[in-house]
A and B are shown apart, each in its own frame.
Chain A
Amino acid sequence: GESVGLHLPTLSVQEGDNSIINCAYSNSASDYFIWYKQESGKGPQFIIDIRSNMDKRQGQRVTVLLNKTVKHLSLQIAATQPGDSAVYFCAEMGWDTGNQFYFGTGTSLTVIP
């Protein structure tokens, strides 16, 4: 079965610092990845995605890095703000998963003012 996990269940950072959240996956056929943010009492919110033909993709204050060799995905948040406090989880889909995403359990990010 699919295995999508995160290295740390919780992460605390000082406001203004950069945050890095990691995700490991096991399926070599995975070719599409998404990072979601879920705030308390809300549904998951799309942050950024990346396909396997890319190593890096940047958005507004966020960067996703993909290392296919070691099957590792990371989300970098620049100048972390209190509003970034949430659970972040990755999702991956492979050409062999029938268009089904597999989700990680999430990392809870707490921003300390």
Chain B
Amino acid sequence: ETGVTQTPRHLVMGMTNKKSLKCEQHLGHNAMYWYKQSAKKPLELMFVYSLEERVENNSVPSRFSPECPNSSHLFLHLHTLQPEDSALYLCASSPTGGDTQYFGPGTRLTVL
């Protein structure tokens, strides 16, 4: 266990659904991240939060909406997704930005 948990582990949703992914870190870290991992592609950074402030948004479509209520929790709200959004969504945390990142197990998302 890395100290980073994600729920749910698997999610199937239709294009008109609204769902949320949750991440929680028990490491006392100040930075949290959302990544998208698609088959045979490098990890794609989506969002970065440092001390609960969003510091990075890598041109992610607005159908993905992050929320960081405190330094231990990170959410990714999903609405009107497309089938090409199907992927493994990984959460990570680090002590500060630029430090080693520790990943959760991911949420396997399938959009029908």
Measured CB to CB, the residues of A under 8 A from B are 4, 32, 34, 36, 41-46, 49, 89, 91, 93, 98-105
| Chain B contact residue count (CB 8 A cutoff) | 20
15 interchain pairs, CB-CB under 8 A: A34-B100, A34-B101, A41-B105, A43-B6, A43-B105, A44-B43, A44-B90, A46-B101, A91-B43, A93-B98, A99-B97, A100-B48, A101-B101, A102-B42, A105-B42
Q: How distant is B41 from chain A, measured CB to nearest CB, in Å?
A: 7
Query: A43-B103, A45-B103, A100-B45 given as contacts; is B98 within 8 A of A105 (CB)?
Result: no
Contact partner of A43 (CB less than 8 A), chosen from B2, B40, B97, is B2
Q: In this complex, what residue of B is CB-closest to A4?
A: B42
Interface of chain B: mostly helix, strand, loop or mixed = loop
Q: How distant is B86 from chain A, measured CB to nearest CB, in Å?
A: 16
- Per the bound structure, the CA–CA distance linking A89 and B40 in Å amounts to 11
Q: How distant is A35 from chain B, measured CB to nearest CB, in Å?
A: 11
- Per the bound structure, the CA–CA distance linking A102 and B90 in Å amounts to 15
